[in-house]
Amino acid sequence: MNHPIKIRTIASGSTGNTGVLKFGESSILVDAGVPFRRISAGLEGLGGVEGLQAIVLTHEHHDHIRGLELLLKARPDLPVYASGGTLKALELSDRETHILRPDVPMTIGSESVEITGFRVSHDATEVMGLRFESHGHVACFVTDLGTYSDQTVEAVQGVHTLILESNYDAEMLRSGPYPVFLKRRIGGTRGHLSNDQSRALLERVAHHNLQRVVLAHLSETNNTPERARRTAEEFLAGSNVSLHVAAPSSPSPIWTPAAGVARSAPLTQLSLF
């Protein structure tokens, strides 16, 4: 029997970000930040480009929309979902577009996937984190934010698969080669999450039905997969949560999380750990 839920990161890092979720027959692309050929290759085994039912964009920065033009040439009928600010910045008036309003659920795809966008703090027009619910499973993409709030925590409660930014190691950023203005931008409240900030957010949203954490959007200059993983493992050690570090240049395995998981009351800590 074909598994009803499949999730993959096609690429995640400072150079490009793309992921895909497949709930039953509904394949949804999240961002298109790598060349079209890499998007197409990453969709193998997930219905391909022709199997996509929608694309959802978090914001308009190049590392999230680089392959969008060619994707929409290949699939001119593909509906685009994003915040009003992102759609305005991209000037997609000739396409089928749908505005994601903060904290207002929408239903997309033939499997009635519920998607909710929520605001995050980043230096683009109207950036959103994304929450998907279908087949009893909750998956969230939370990247490109310099800080988080109680509203962020609330939006991520009850998640089973969490794709979470862990962009930089604070010491590597401080001592690294970037100019001061860029270091301030990355480390500011409208930049990116550090490994320590990522862990702190994880501690607030983790609960007993959390299945997988994917550390995403790692800087290739100011972080290493080992440092990001070690910071998260300090909290997750001893749990049943699978931890993965997304790569900037290669797709992840196709994950098939447990279907039909009852929505559980979120905990501020994983007290059984």
Say what the pTM is. 0.93
Look up residue 210 and give its two tokens: 């959390």
First to last CA, the chain: 34
Beta bridge partners of 9: 19
Q: Is residue 70 part of a domain?
A: yes
Q: Is residue 252 part of a domain?
A: no
Q: Look up the CATH number of the domain holding residue 50.
A: 3.60.15.10
CA distance 33 to 249: 11
Look up residue 65 and give its two tokens: 């929309």
- Residue 82 structural domain: 5-245
In which element (H, E) is residue 90 found? Answer: helix 84-90
CA distance 122 to 126: 8
Determine the Cα angle at 27 with ends 24 and 31, to 5°: 150
Q: Is residue 188 part of a domain?
A: yes
Q: Is residue 259 part of a domain?
A: no
The residue whose two tokens read 């929608």 is 54
Q: Is residue 268 part of a domain?
A: no
Q: Is residue 169 part of a domain?
A: yes
Q: Is residue 272 part of a domain?
A: no
Count of the separate structural domains present in the chain: 1
Helix-helix angle 225-236:195-205, to 10 degrees: 30
Per-residue pLDDT of the chain (273 residues), as tens digits, is 467 999 999 999 999 999 999 999 999 999 999 999 999 999 999 999 999 999 999 999 999 999 999 999 999 999 999 999 999 999 988 899 999 999 999 999 888 999 999 999 999 999 999 999 999 999 999 999 999 999 999 999 999 999 999 999 999 999 999 999 999 999 999 999 999 999 999 999 999 999 999 999 999 999 999 999 999 999 999 899 999 999 999 999 999 986 444 434 443 444 433
Q: Is residue 225 part of a domain?
A: yes
Strand 212-216, strand 113-119: pairing: unpaired
CA distances in angstroms from 76 to 41, 52, 178, listed in the order given: 19, 12, 39
